[in-house]
Chain A
Amino acid sequence: MTEFTKLTLSEARDALHKGDISSVEITSAHLDAIDDAKELNSYIVVTADKAMDMAAKADAMIKDGTAKGMTGIPIGIKDLYCTKGVHSQAASHILDGFKPEYESTVTSNLWDDGAVMLGKTNMDEFAMGSSNENSYYGPVKNPWRATKENGELSDKNTVPGGSSGGSAAAVAADISIASTGTDTGGSIRQPASFTGLVGLKPTYGRCSRWGMVAFASSLDQAGPLTKTVRDAAIMMESMAGYDPKDSTSTNITVPNYEAALTGDIRGLKIGVPKEYRVDGMPDGIEKLWQQGIDWLKDAGAEIIDISLPHTKYALPTCYIVAPAECSSNLARYDGVKFGLRVDGDSLDDMYKKTRAAGFGDEVKRRILIGTYVLSAGYYDAYYLKAQRVRTLIANDFKAAYEKCDVILTPTAPSAAFNLGEKVSDPLSMYLNDVFTVPASLAGLPGISVPAGLSSQGLPLGLQLLGQAFGEEQLLKVADVLETAAGFKAKPAKWWGENT
């Protein structure tokens, strides 16, 4: 039944709680839709039997009266999360055959609340990428295709963004109600923008990182990709929380985020940073940004011009810090304890051959850069320098938040580009994260809200950035922005049957 797959998370929750529909019905409708959408390559593994079991248990919880917001909601889980007994390879060859004997804290939280796992979603290998073309399991196709000048749908595929590209494509194609993502430099927000979804990266420390395959530990955060802001609020509440197993998770109460969606932002101060106007940004994005400013002003917010002077240094800073941390984190993949092993003449030879065969090109590039910037003689010039610039970037935000409550920017400098278009140019790929990386470096929360379509009919998002642990305020403004934008467009179905 297609109507079950069109439901938003909050609509499904309300219908489930009223007893109008069952989780078994919604879940099986999604499994059928997944079957019809194999071309998108958004799932690496579909856990159909497990999903039906979980759905039956969720229906029992609803009958018992113990249901929570996520009870009975079928979701996709990014392959970066360890899920007990299920494929968890961060879309890498080097983790071949790895099935963890434990469950990540974030997914445990979701299952405790009765959520249903549909499967593991595709992603850029180890979350390194902005187009989902770096997966060992092949690229993900964005459900959205451009519209040609004659009004027909192009037959060229676009990328869903990355690294949480499979998670985003699945929600956009209505083959999961919501998905988990992770964001290191924009890996939730940029795919959300490319696929017409809401993507929330919470404050660093809001979610436990335990059981999430580590990329850059000082930046990685879990978050939801959903159809609406309300859905993001519901799912965030379930995912978030203190965890003694992650010493960087913060021990503060998780609020009822949905209650923050009052629709009233009168008197709030919205900062607009002049440094986010970059050369070569398409007119459509510039106009949409201005439109966003006008929408929030009309809703009673006050618009304040602000400056974040070190913005242009955020990307190069991130591309020192993240590779440095990844070169250290990925040292554990050695062919001994789990995953792929390629035999060699000696132990060292085995390590080298295993890692050469097991890692993709972009992962190897980042490990080599990271090794270089941390090596003797270069540590001060690169790594320490980058961490100092990072302090300046965080200070920029601190100063800005003395003048404003929330910051409004575009999410990405372009709409979704074509598959294969940027794959041979790592630097132009990195530029995708130009607007999302600064807040990541400062540990601040950010959300992308779908706000309009490009001249080619592809979705564009606007980004709101909040203060540390200011998710309630952030979601409140995002909800108002979403209402004003009234983004209702869906991708025209070109995949599977009944196109």
Chain B
Amino acid sequence: MSVDKQTVAKIANLARIEVSEDELENTMGELNNIIDWIEQLSEVNTDGVAAMTSVVAADLPRREDKVTDGGYRDEVLKNAPVAEHGFFAVPKVLE
């Protein structure tokens, strides 16, 4: 399998990374080199092999469902590029 320019543009949109028309060609070439190379996994017989979900066998620990943390809005907002009235501020979403 290999990707064409249209697919690269689609992936870039899904990943929310702007890739200009000029860069598409080059990016396509780089991605296809990597995709060709990872393609070699298709020669491995994995019939009946379970997919890895956890490298260390362990049960997910449980805890009581109660709030143990929080209550520091100002600290959270301190790193925001733009914050107003105690909220993160973003460009208009709805017209």
A residues lining the B interface (CB < 8 Å): 97-101, 203-205, 218, 244, 247-248, 250-251, 310, 313, 316-317, 319-320, 327, 331, 334-341, 343-353, 355-356, 359, 364-365, 367-369, 371-373, 375, 378, 381-382, 384-392, 394, 426-427, 441-443, 468
Contact = CB atoms under 8 A, between A and B. Distances in A.
Nearest to B74: A101
B91 A346 contact: yes
A97 B81 CA distance: 9
B94 to A, nearest CB: 10
B79 A320 contact: no
B11 A320 contact: no
Contact of B34 (A251, A331, A369, A378): A369
- Among A250, A339, A356, max chain B CB count under 10 A is at A356
B90 A248 contact: no
B35 A334 contact: no
A101 B30 contact: no
Interface residues of B, number: 52
B88 A336 contact: yes
B55 interface: yes
B93 interface: yes
B16 interface: yes
Contacts of B93: 346-347
Contact of A391 (B39, B52, B79): B52
B14 A355 contact: no
Contact of A372 (B3, B16, B56): B3
B16 A101 contact: no
Nearest to A387: B51
Contacts of A394: 52, 55
Given A389-B49, A441-B55, A442-B55, 18 more contacts: A204-B55, A218-B54, A244-B61, A250-B58, A319-B34, A334-B16, A337-B80, A346-B92, A347-B91, A353-B18, A368-B31, A371-B11, A387-B51, A389-B46, A391-B51, A394-B55, A426-B33, A443-B55
Contacts of B50: 388, 391
A356 B19 contact: yes
B36 to A, nearest CB: 9
Interface in B1-58: 1, 3, 7-8, 11-19, 27, 30-31, 33-35, 37-42, 44, 46, 49-56, 58
Which 7 A-B residue pairs are closest in the complex by CB-CB distance? Answer: A443-B55, A387-B51, A341-B81, A338-B79, A388-B46, A356-B18, A352-B18
Contact of A203 (B3, B31, B56): B56
Contacts of B38: 316, 319-320, 373, 382, 386
Interface string B49-86: 11111111010110100000000100110111110000
Nearest to B14: A371
B56 A368 contact: no
A213 to B, nearest CB: 13
Interface of B: 1, 3, 7-8, 11-19, 27, 30-31, 33-35, 37-42, 44, 46, 49-56, 58, 60-61, 63, 72, 75-76, 78-82, 88, 90-93
B47 to A, nearest CB: 9
B31 A392 contact: no
Contacts of B76: 101
A386 B93 CA distance: 38
Contacts of B72: 101
B41 A389 contact: yes
Given A313-B40, A339-B81, A390-B52, A355 B61 contact: no
A205 B61 CA distance: 13
A372 B35 contact: yes
Given A316-B37, A386-B41, A344 B12 contact: no
Contacts of B17: 352, 355-356, 359, 364, 367-368
A73 B37 CA distance: 45
B90 A347 contact: yes
A185 B68 CA distance: 34
A301 B81 CA distance: 58
Nearest to A356: B18
B19 A97 contact: no
Contacts of A389: 41, 44, 46, 49
B56 A204 contact: yes
B82 A341 contact: yes
B52 A335 contact: no
B81 A336 contact: yes
A98 B79 CA distance: 6
A385 B46 contact: yes
A337 B60 CA distance: 29
A313 B52 contact: no
Contacts of A367: 15, 17
B18 A355 contact: yes
Nearest to B33: A427
A456 B28 CA distance: 38
22 contacts: A203-B56, A218-B55, A248-B56, A310-B44, A313-B44, A319-B38, A336-B88, A338-B79, A347-B93, A352-B17, A352-B18, A365-B27, A367-B17, A368-B31, A372-B7, A387-B53, A389-B46, A390-B51, A391-B52, A426-B33, A426-B34, A441-B52
B18 A368 contact: no
Contacts of A316: 37-41
A369 to B, nearest CB: 6
Contacts of B61: 244, 247, 251
